[in-house]
Amino acid sequence: MAAVALLVILPAPARAAASGWVGNRHAEARLITAERATGSANVIDAGIEIRLAPGWHTYWRDPGAAGLPATIDWRGSRNLAAAQLDWPAPRRFSLDGLETYGYVGRVVLPIAVTLARPGAPLLLHAKVAYTACSNICVPLHAVLDLALPAGIASPGPEAGLIAAAQKAVPGALAGLGLSLRSARVSPDGKGASALSLELAGPRAMPVRPDLFVEGLPDDAPGPPQVVRAGAEGGVHLLLTRIDVPPSRLAGRRLVFTLTDGPDRAATFAAAPALAAPAGLAGTTLIPLAVIAAALLGGLLLNVMPCVLPVLSLKLLYLARLAGAERRAVRFELLATGGGIVAGFMLLAAGLIALKAFGGAIGWGIQFQSPWFLIAMTMVMVLFAADLWGWISIAMPGGNEAAALTHRVGGRHVRAVLVGLFAALLSTSCTAPFIGTAVGFALSRGPLEIVAIFLAMGLGLAAPTLTAAAVPSLVRVVPRPGRWMVWLSRIFGALLLATAVWLLAVLARISSLDAVLAVSGLALTTLGVLALRHYAGGGRGGFRRAMGGLSGALVLAALLVPLAGANAPPPQQAPDASGLWHPFVRTAIAPNVARGRVVLVNVTAAWCLICQVNQVRVLDRDPVAARLAGTDVVAMRADWTRPDASITNYLESFGHYGVPLDVVYGPGAPGGIVLPDLVTAPEVIRALDRAGGEARAAER
Amino acid sequence: MSRIPPGRGVPVRSAFSLTRRSVLAALGVAALGGRAKADDTLPPLSDALTELKPPKEPPAFSFQTAGGEKRTLADYRGEGVVLNIWATWCAPCRMEMPSLNRLSELMKDFTISVLPVSVDAKGLSVVKAYYAAHGIESLPILLDPDGNIGDAFKIDGIPSSFIIDRSGRLVAECLGAAEWDAPGAVALIRRLTSQGMNPHELPITVPIDSRFRLSG
């Protein structure tokens, strides 16, 4: 009796819910089901499990540029009405420019098996054809049999594998908290297209997005670029260099699979619209958020080191006025505020003109021009001379210099100029939010550029304008006295230091002769002004002559570029540490394909934030030690001089200025964009993330 | 800024990936549309190849031309043969096809035939499309849609290549992709296939330093 009872209970575990493994030493497959018996359900969860040796992979339903997906022939099965095969989210393999999609290690392809007669026994007979590749490819054929008896369904040991695989099948976009805002196709070089997908969502952007596109004729694009890691949530992905003309992609139904790490994935379909030509952009509305970003960015520029020397000049002039009447102070402040806004309008006008003539545009590009650098150098020298009292410090004696200063509006002109030059110099810095605002403006039409630059100008001018509204604030400044003379000397020295810095930048884009000429002219100007001040005494003729001479010297400096200052500078000494390699965009992918991590550092000699990043983080340990490793390639792109390839690279990230630091690696083939001001832990983390996943997968 | 990080006092260019060569190769990719790219990662033939000592009799096999004619090794008697088994869906096979294409051009003057046999189940249409899209002009289209040739040679996977000398013996095999058109590879193939050759036709043993000189 007991023996009979045992017989009834025991057979269940003995019934396998899996076929044996069939394959070779590279890859094996088996058939599994979630249940041990057919039970009473119409549909039974089953799966094909493929096990791959280390270094081997098999393919997704769309294998990409090469490869074959698994196919299953169910003929010979009994009680099978239908079998629906599903595909877990793939990962990407980049082999020398060939992008393929598939799986490594173990993968279960879940199958929903519909029974012809529920409750009756089931015989699954699957002829599975699939391919596995490493440095060679092997076509595999596995004939797999699995019989499920009739009876009460109870989960088999493989039920968990199938459930996990079903969860790995990409779901709807809403499951990732995202929705599709736009899908656009635009031309990207000769006969090629770029696809842009904007996904909106309340949550933070995907951490490590990858995008797979099905339905492209004959092309498998590389990993996407994350154009904007929107603070407002969502993500903007860009696929470039798709080898299909835009006209063939516009309106074509494409199936996108977005993955974010191994556990999150979604599939959605979209027919991209042909992006409107750039000229029509004038009618678009500017989101309030961008205007706010521009205002806030401008405001933050006030505390950046680039404008501090010039704006502190303002404070000093104000201190001199401390005793003056409220109205005069107010005018002075308004004039400076106006100068700042005018400076930004000047920048906007320059950028619009450049854009209209097809020139490269960007934040701070005026620093790439020797004319600008020389002009600013001379302006700094003149301001310094002014602070030192060599030009026109208000002398109560009523001599000529004082007359000059007090000429109608003379003081206000100076106030305007302070604002103007502060604005022009401010672009060698970038502040938080500036990137967003500038990126938006420069990608649109003239209207947007003017509006956003106006907002930035108002942001930078905000403290000045606030003080103009409440002039009593200025009364806090102590009365003029001996301290002011010292402060004037210090600020004058600071301005001269700025001039020296500008000359150093000039040395990077012009010939040494030009730099020497400008330096000489600047020093002579300073000398002439000093002579005029100290030796001039009351002799009007001598002072006039010296004043004229200094004016001529400034003009002469401005003419230096005509004398061949644009000649290429002497060959830059190679980076002595051997850490940094020149930037070659096409060398990124091959290095990543070989499992290396690539850091691209786009910088410029005139970009103060870039210098801060280099000195504080990139060129010192622990980052430098990490970059020195053989598994890391550090590339430096120098945007000090105009360089179309670097401008294009910046634009591909929606950036119109430096710094830009991007980390690529097997774990982030599309690149991770670092924040403008980097910190060592952030860089290390990005390097780990870019390299880590592949390393983990290989072991 | 130009501080030397620890352990980097000596030039480490060789340990670095971005050597002058790879930069030039990458530039070449941009300039030549992918030509130099594959070469840079393909292993040299001398590393990938296994010489068979003594040489073996090749198994019996056949394949078809694009026109549907059946071919066997007997059709190439007296010639050296580089037989390559490949498929359009096989990424490593595709990596070496441009190199085989150039090899075929280089070998024209030496009565050595380069025979890539595709085992694509879809046959002629996909191979033809692949040749057209990738500028493969010097290689013949040869097909074995049933994959019999792989069974005959008992290959482990594709690409698999075999070198057969002029007397019809199997002298070397190569599993996986290789750089077929490098000067060293060309010399090696000429040496391996020279058995059974008229003595005064034997290749010169002076290393040939330029593939361009060969073709010229």
CA dihedral in degrees (B14, B15, B21, B23; nearest 10)?
-140
Q: Is residue A252 assigned to a domain?
A: yes
Query: CA–CA separation, B99 vs B181, rounded Å?
Result: 6
Walk across the sheet containing A660-665 and list its strands: A580-582, A632-638, A597-603, A660-665, A668-673
Q: Are A604 and A625 in contact (CB under 8 A)?
A: no
**H or E element: which one contains A632?**
strand A632-638
**The complex's ipTM?**
0.74
Distance from CA of B171 to the nearest CA of A (A): 21
Q: Of A427, A184, A205, A467, give the one whose Cα is nearest residue A321.
A: A467
Name beta bridge partners: A260.
A209, A264
pTM of the model: 0.52
Distance from CA of B206 to the nearest CA of A (A): 33
Nearest chain A residue to B31 by CA: give it: A586
Q: Are A686 and A663 in contact (CB under 8 A)?
A: yes
Phi, psi of A646 (to 5 degrees): -75, -40
Q: Do A581 and B93 touch (CB under 8 A)?
A: no
Q: Do A218 and B133 touch (CB under 8 A)?
A: yes
Nearest chain A residue to B15 by CA: give it: A630
Q: Of A163, A167, A203, give the one whose Cα is nearest residue A89.
A: A167
Q: Which of residues 54-113 of B touch A (CB under 8 A)?
A: 87-95
Locate all alpha helices (DSSP H) within A361-409, ordered by sequence. Answer: 370-387, 400-405
Q: Which amino acid is at A483?
A: W
Substitution target in A60, A138, A586 with the highest count of B β-carbons within 10 Å is A586
The reported pLDDT for the residue numbered A281 is 37
Query: CA–CA separation, B153 vs A26, rounded Å?
Result: 19
Beta-carbon contacts of residue A614 (< 8 Å; ≥ 6 apart) = A601, A603, B1
Distance from CA of A586 to the nearest CA of B (A): 6
Substitution target in B90, B118, B151, B153 with the highest count of A β-carbons within 10 Å is B90
Q: Exposure of A165 by Cβ count < 10 A (0-12 exposed, 13-18 middle, 19+ buried)?
A: buried
CA dihedral in degrees (A513, A517, A519, A525; nearest 10)?
180
Query: CA–CA separation, A494 vs A385, rounded Å?
Result: 12
Report how many domains make up chain A: 4
Q: Are A414 and A406 in contact (CB under 8 A)?
A: no
Q: Of A266, A265, A258, A262, give the one whose Cα is nearest residue A210.
A: A258
Beta-carbon contacts of residue A328 (< 8 Å; ≥ 6 apart) = A321
Q: Which tens digits make up the pLDDT trace of B53-112?
A: 899 999 999 999 999 999 999 999 889 999 999 999 999 999 999 999 999 999 988 889
- Check whether residue A378 and residue A287 sit in a common domain: yes
Closest by Cβ to B5, choosing from A66, A133, A625: A625
Distance from CA of A683 to the nearest CA of B (A): 17
Query: CA–CA separation, A297 vs A346, rounded Å?
Result: 18
Q: What is the CA radius of gyration of chain A?
A: 34
Q: Which amino acid is at A681?
A: P
Substitution target in A57, A136, A614 with the highest count of B β-carbons within 10 Å is A136
Question: Which residues of chain A fall below pLDDT 70?
Answer: 1-16, 189-190, 203-206, 218, 228-233, 276-286, 319-326, 358-359, 392-410, 473-481, 536-540, 563-577, 692-699
Closest by Cβ to A587, choosing from B7, B22, B95: B22
The reported pLDDT for the residue numbered A694 is 43
The reported pLDDT for the residue numbered A579 is 79
- Check whether residue A268 and residue A370 sit in a common domain: no
Q: Do B29 and A591 touch (CB under 8 A)?
A: no
Q: Are A39 and A119 in contact (CB under 8 A)?
A: yes
Phi, psi of A132 (to 5 degrees): -125, 140
Distance from CA of B58 to the nearest CA of A (A): 22
Q: Is residue A372 assigned to a domain?
A: yes
* A228 C-beta neighbours (distance < 10 Å), count: 21
Report, at the CATH architecture level, how domain B43-215 is classified: 3-Layer(aba) Sandwich (3.40)
Q: Do B11 and A578 touch (CB under 8 A)?
A: yes
Q: Which amino acid is at A445?
A: G
Contacts of A580 in chain B (CB under 8 A): none
Closest by Cβ to A66, choosing from B17, B91, B176: B91
Distance from CA of A99 to the nearest CA of B (A): 9
Q: Which tens digits make up the pLDDT trace of B112-153?
A: 999 999 999 889 999 999 999 889 999 999 999 998 999 999
Name beta bridge partners: B172.
B51, B163
Q: Which tens digits make up the pLDDT trace of A376-417?
A: 888 888 888 877 777 753 333 444 444 444 443 467 777 888
- Check whether residue A494 and residue A628 sit in a common domain: no
* Residue ending a domain, choose from A143, A168, A193: A168
Domain ranges of chain B: 43-215
Nearest chain B residue to A69 by CA: give it: B89
- Structure letter (DSSP) for residue A284: P
Q: Enumerate long-range contacts of B1-4, CB under 8 Å, 24 or more apart.
A: B1/A614, B1/A615, B1/A619, B2/A575, B2/A576, B2/A577, B2/A619, B3/A577, B3/A619, B3/A620, B3/A624, B4/A576, B4/A577, B4/A578
- Percent of chain B scored above 90 by pLDDT? 55
Residue A60, domain CATH: 2.60.40
Separation of CA B161 from chain center? 8
Contacts of A66 in chain B (CB under 8 A): 88-91, 94
The half-sphere exposure of A13 on its side-chain side, counting CA atoms within 13 A, is 4
- Check whether residue A297 and residue A410 sit in a common domain: yes
Query: CA–CA separation, A429 vs A284, rounded Å?
Result: 29
Q: Do B16 and A68 touch (CB under 8 A)?
A: no
CB-based contact, B135 to chain A, within 8 Å = no
Q: At residue B38, does pLDDT exceed 70?
A: no
CA dihedral in degrees (A122, A127, A133, A138; nearest 10)?
150
- Unique residue bearing structure tokens 């103060």: A608
One-letter-per-residue 3-state SS of chain B: CCCCCCCCCCCCHHHCCCCHHHHHHHHHHHHHCCHHHHHHHCCEHHHHEEEEEEEECCCCCCEEECCCCEECHHHHCCCEEEEEEECCCCHHHHHHHHHHHHHHHHHHHHCEEEEEEECCCCCHHHHHHHHHHHCCCCCCCEECCCCHHHHHHCCCCECEEEEECCCCCEEEEEECCCECCCHHHHHHHHHHCCCCCCHHHCCCCCCCCCHHHHHC
Beta-carbon contacts of residue A4 (< 8 Å; ≥ 6 apart) = none
- Check whether residue A342 and residue A290 sit in a common domain: yes
Phi, psi of A259 (to 5 degrees): -115, 150
- Unique residue bearing structure tokens 């995907």: A206
- Check whether residue A164 and residue A182 sit in a common domain: no
* A160 C-beta neighbours (distance < 10 Å), count: 11
Q: Do A577 and B8 touch (CB under 8 A)?
A: yes
Query: CA–CA separation, B12 vs B15, rounded Å?
Result: 5
Nearest chain B residue to A62 by CA: give it: B89
Nearest chain B residue to A93 by CA: give it: B91
- Unique residue bearing structure tokens 């096409």: A586
Q: Is residue A607 assigned to a domain?
A: yes
- Check whether residue A247 and residue A297 sit in a common domain: no
* B114 C-beta neighbours (distance < 10 Å), count: 24
- Check whether residue A44 and residue A57 sit in a common domain: yes
- Check whether residue A416 and residue A443 sit in a common domain: yes
Nearest chain A residue to B27 by CA: give it: A586
Q: What is the CA radius of gyration of chain B?
A: 19
- Check whether residue A557 and residue A594 sit in a common domain: no
* B125 C-beta neighbours (distance < 10 Å), count: 9
Q: Do B175 and A136 touch (CB under 8 A)?
A: yes
Q: Do B177 and A633 touch (CB under 8 A)?
A: no
Q: Exposure of A407 by Cβ count < 10 A (0-12 exposed, 13-18 middle, 19+ buried)?
A: exposed
Size of chain A in residues: 699
Name beta bridge partners: B139.
none
Residue A620, domain CATH: 3.40.30.10
Contacts of B4 in chain A (CB under 8 A): 576-578
- Unique residue bearing structure tokens 């119409």: A42
The reported pLDDT for the residue numbered A381 is 86
CB-based contact, B41 to chain A, within 8 Å = yes
Domain span at residue A211 reads: 173-275
For residue B116, give both structure tokens: 């890539």
Q: Are B80 and B170 in contact (CB under 8 A)?
A: no
- Check whether residue A161 and residue A191 sit in a common domain: no
Closest by Cβ to B17, choosing from A65, A138, A591: A591
Q: Is residue A6 assigned to a domain?
A: no
Q: Of A443, A444, A411, give the one whose Cα is nearest residue A320.
A: A411
State yes or no: cis peptide before A659, omega within 30 of 0. Answer: yes
Query: CA–CA separation, A81 vs A113, rounded Å?
Result: 8
Q: Is residue A9 assigned to a domain?
A: no
Nearest chain A residue to B133 by CA: give it: A218
Q: Of A230, A364, A360, A227, give the one whose Cα is nearest residue A293.
A: A230
- Check whether residue A221 and residue A362 sit in a common domain: no
Phi, psi of A284 (to 5 degrees): -70, 155
Contacts of B145 in chain A (CB under 8 A): none
Contacts of A587 in chain B (CB under 8 A): 18, 22-23, 26
Phi, psi of A244 (to 5 degrees): -140, 135
Phi, psi of A128 (to 5 degrees): -100, 125
Q: Is residue A570 assigned to a domain?
A: no
- pLDDT range class, residue B50, cuts 50, 70, 90: very high
Contacts of B99 in chain A (CB under 8 A): none
